[in-house]
Chain A
């Protein structure tokens, strides 16, 4: 077996300066809320890590997650880290297809048995396995097969983590999430539609550094990035408390950058790093751009109330049913009054 170069050797070969590399490690440590003392540990871990084998499976997805992760404004060290892993299989990015590609996948699985990472984006249809296939293999079969020898599985994006848009009502393909199917291997969910690139790489970096899974919340999401709500970190929060809300997208309040609660912002119930890490290397995030948070890193966010429906809106049934309840009330009232009156008549007759 060919000895793989370490990540450090690769970075050196690519001309990444030591300073630049350490800067990346420092940023990563800070995002992970690790003390500065950890920086050398991160550096050492990455430097000496054998390029881990990563198999990326894309199922019912829109490719947005891959786009987010791979499309950077300018080449960044995050991008280089990606080069530093051995991405042995990726539908969208790889040139090969068909039998050859599948053979490459099997080879990677055998060579790194028990040590490779499986990254998944997109949901898996169970309604009819034929709804989504790759090289004639159904998603569910490919997942089962690939995960068997994996060290861990990372579900990238809300589709893989929670079912996402295919899983939204009425879920015609019977889409399920990775954690619904994988129960015997550690699963990390990195949801978002798409997830923030920096979050993705930091999770990988943490795994590389410590060789173990980060601390996860009740939805299997790394607490480091999904431990606080957008609401609690939103720069517009003072406006929320002061009662200054944008009523429409183009009114004075909107232009003044006021809170978007009334326009449907799901910030209070959404856990993600958007308000702090932001997007495009810290450029902005939806709320800052004037659009309410969709709650895209939460399970079933597509069915959780309209995007422009305020969070506090009740999910009521049709008015017809309520009218029915009113009718029942009238009937019961009439019955009660009739019973009461007849009791009174009885007592009057008794004399």
Chain B
């Protein structure tokens, strides 16, 4: 079996199992912990709507904090939106999703995707530089931060190498790209990349607690 067939086949399968099992493991392990009961009289009722509200609003920084956090926030947005576009709006990827979802959606022209991919890589590098040089981030960062950065940027870079080619064979780079995604999928549930699904829990629960008090969310 050549490298590409291995990457697309057994490797991707195992990655899918680990991704699914790990994500569910983490969510269930957290959700099944004790539930906090609150007997205080609520100022406002705060159920699912409060959770959804804060899930949405926390994506935007409140204005008193904007100036201090503008630079990293901007970089993070470029990185995330670039990633989103590359993953979900690039036609070959859309076909990948169609393979197991059964439906597809319109994509963007490849050249735009390449541009957004490059922007995402540049933003990622800038974020890494910041993490390595800011006193706060230098202190609080650990292996998880750096490794998660690496497994997120690697698929972007290897993906961009497919059109750029640099003298390598298409199927070889494609195999490396798929394997980098396999690595990402395997790491995803366990490190801080899990924030992709945990964000709903953290923002949601905070939303419910604080909205209940009528406090700022």
- CB of B13 within 8 A of CB of A315, answer yes
What is the interface of chain A mostly: helix, strand, loop, or mixed? helix
Q: Is A96 an interface residue (CB 8 A)?
A: no
- CB of B25 within 8 A of CB of A329, answer yes
Q: Is A221 an interface residue (CB 8 A)?
A: no
Which residues of A311-344 have CB atoms within 8 Å of chain B's CB atoms? 311-317, 321-322, 325-326, 328-330, 332-334, 336-338, 340-341, 344
- CB of B111 within 8 A of CB of A262, answer no
Contact stretch, chosen from B90-98, B142-150, B200-208: B90-98
* Cα distance, A240 to B33, chains bound together (Å): 50
Q: Is B100 an interface residue (CB 8 A)?
A: yes
- Interface residues as binary, A137-158 with B (CB distance below 8 Å gives 1, 0 otherwise): 0000000000000000000000
Interface size counted on chain A using CB atoms at 8 A = 41
Q: Is B99 an interface residue (CB 8 A)?
A: yes
* Cα distance, A299 to B4, chains bound together (Å): 12
- CB of B21 within 8 A of CB of A269, answer no
Give the A-binding residues of B (Cβ under 8 A).
Answer: 2, 4-5, 8-9, 12-13, 16-18, 20-34, 91-93, 95-96, 98-100, 107-111, 170-171, 174
Known: A242-B109, A329-B22. 7 other contacts (CB 8 A): A299-B2, A310-B99, A314-B8, A322-B17, A326-B24, A333-B29, A341-B33
- CB of B20 within 8 A of CB of A313, answer no
Q: Is A64 an interface residue (CB 8 A)?
A: no
* Cα distance, A232 to B174, chains bound together (Å): 15
- Can you name 5 A-B residue pairings with CB atoms under 8 Å? A312-B95, A321-B13, A334-B28, A336-B25, A340-B29
Please indicate the chain A residues that have their CB under 8 angstroms from the CB of B16 in the complex: 314, 316, 322, 325
Which residues of A222-272 have CB atoms within 8 Å of chain B's CB atoms? 229, 231-232, 240-243, 245, 261-262, 268-269
Q: Is A102 an interface residue (CB 8 A)?
A: no
* Cα distance, A269 to B162, chains bound together (Å): 12
Please indicate the chain B residues that have their CB under 8 angstroms from the CB of A269 in the complex: 4, 170-171, 174
* Cα distance, A309 to B96, chains bound together (Å): 10
Which B-chain residue is minimally distant from A310 (CB atoms)? B95
From residue B23, how far is it (CB to closest CB) to chain A in Å?
7
Please indicate the chain A residues that have their CB under 8 angstroms from the CB of B171 in the complex: 268-269
From residue A112, how far is it (CB to closest CB) to chain B in Å?
37
- CB of A316 within 8 A of CB of B2, answer no
Q: Is A304 an interface residue (CB 8 A)?
A: yes
**One of B31, B34, B96 near A312 (C-beta < 8 A):** B96
Which residues of A126-171 have CB atoms within 8 Å of chain B's CB atoms? none
Please indicate the chain A residues that have their CB under 8 angstroms from the CB of B12 in the complex: 314-316
Please indicate the chain B residues that have their CB under 8 angstroms from the CB of A231 in the complex: 170
Closest 7 CB pairs of A and B: A333-B28, A329-B24, A337-B32, A310-B95, A243-B109, A336-B29, A329-B21
* Cα distance, A310 to B98, chains bound together (Å): 9
